[in-house]
Amino acid sequence: MMEALIPVINKLQDVFNTIGADAIQLPQIVVVGSQSSGKSSVLESLVGRDFLPRGAGIVTRRPLILQLVHVPQNDTAFRCAEEGTLDLEEWGKFLHTKNKIYSDFNEVRKEIEGETERMSGSNKGICPDPINLKIFSSKVVNLTLVDLPGLTKVPVGDQPEDIEIQIRELVLKHISNPNSIILAVSAANTDFATSEAVKLAREVDPDGRRTLAVITKLDLMDAGTDAIDVLCGRVIPVKLGIVGVVNRSQQDILNKKVS
């Protein structure tokens, strides 16, 4: 039943984002975390491709609605309907570029960067207007996620002075949706009890009923420490569970290692 519902929700999201209907609260998974917490690596591991912009400071400056669409390798009917995809293993499409097919995921990254710059400017400010990206592949499950700018405290360079407030309000707008699941990403080498992602999640979901925590960078914890209490929910309990992951190192990213 849910598998049949997801494509309908995806179509509604496309329509509402085109006409600007913010009042409709659709089910969605919202990814929240501080800058450099490993959000990008978590998202890219779900896709199995490098496609998100990376760099120092705030890189994600607009919400990214990422719709993963499972397309079996032998589904020729669907591929014929998507012109130019019959021989492709996986591809991407943006809502703002209409029917253009992106088979090179480096081009997907460049398009995200270009569209972000077009709407957000070059001064590292943020823009609440989302970018819609669909990725079609036989390696993904049907899933829709919303990636948001990383939480930050201090403006850097030419960032606006109120950048922390802007990002906080943008995040709260998305996670306040009672139909959303909050994917709170925190790094294991920081104190989970002081996690900004978990703190914001608890503001709108005090019982943790729609919060799923992801603990990244487990391999970077200080020698002699562990994350057992955190992963078992003894520090901060969340109803949907706590998942620990090990991110790729920067060298792995440079070497194009997938996972």
Tens of pLDDT, residues 80-125: 778 778 788 899 999 999 889 999 999 999 999 999 988 877 767 7
Cα separations in angstroms, 150 against 6, 34, 197 = 26, 5, 9
User: In angstroms, how far is CA 102 from the centroid of its own chain?
Assistant: 19
Residue 255: pLDDT band (50, 70, 90) is low
Tokens of 146: 């919303």
Region 152-167 average pLDDT: 82
Region 42-54 average pLDDT: 87
Residues for the chain: how many in total? 259
Q: Which pLDDT tens digit goes with each residue over 6-29?
A: 666 666 666 656 555 554 556 789
SS3 (DSSP) at 106? helix
The amino acid at residue 92 is G
Phi, psi of 242 (to 5 degrees): -130, 125
**Is the confidence at residue 145, as pLDDT, over 70?**
yes
Cα torsion for 81, 83, 84, 85, to the nearest 10°? -30
Nearest to 135 by CA among 200, 259, 48: 48
Measure the CA–CA gap between 233 and 135, rounded to whole angstroms: 33
| pLDDT for the residue 159 | 75
SS3 (DSSP) at 13? helix
Mean pLDDT of all residues in the chain? 83
CATH superfamily label, 26-254: P-loop containing nucleotide triphosphate hydrolases (3.40.50.300)
Measure the CA–CA gap between 100 and 83, rounded to whole angstroms: 9
What is the number of alpha carbons within 13 Å of residue 256 lying toward its C-beta? 2
Q: Which of 44-58, 165-179, 216-230 has the highest mean pLDDT?
A: 165-179
Give yes or no for a contact between 63 and 106, defined as CB atoms under 8 angstroms apart. Answer: no
Residue 157: Cβ within 10 Å count: 9
Q: Which pLDDT tens digit goes with each residue over 186-213?
A: 988 888 888 899 999 999 999 889 999 9
Mark residue 191 as left, alpha or beta (left: phi above 0; alpha: psi -120 to 50; beta: remaining). beta
User: In angstroms, how far is CA 245 from the centroid of its own chain?
Assistant: 16
Residue 205: partners with Cβ closer than 8 Å, 6 or more residues away: 175, 182, 211
**Residues in a beta bridge with 183:** 31, 212
Q: Among all chains, which residue has been given the structure tokens 């090179």?
A: 104
| pLDDT for the residue 166 | 92
Flag whether the pTM goes above 0.85.
no
**Is the confidence at residue 235, as pLDDT, over 80?**
yes
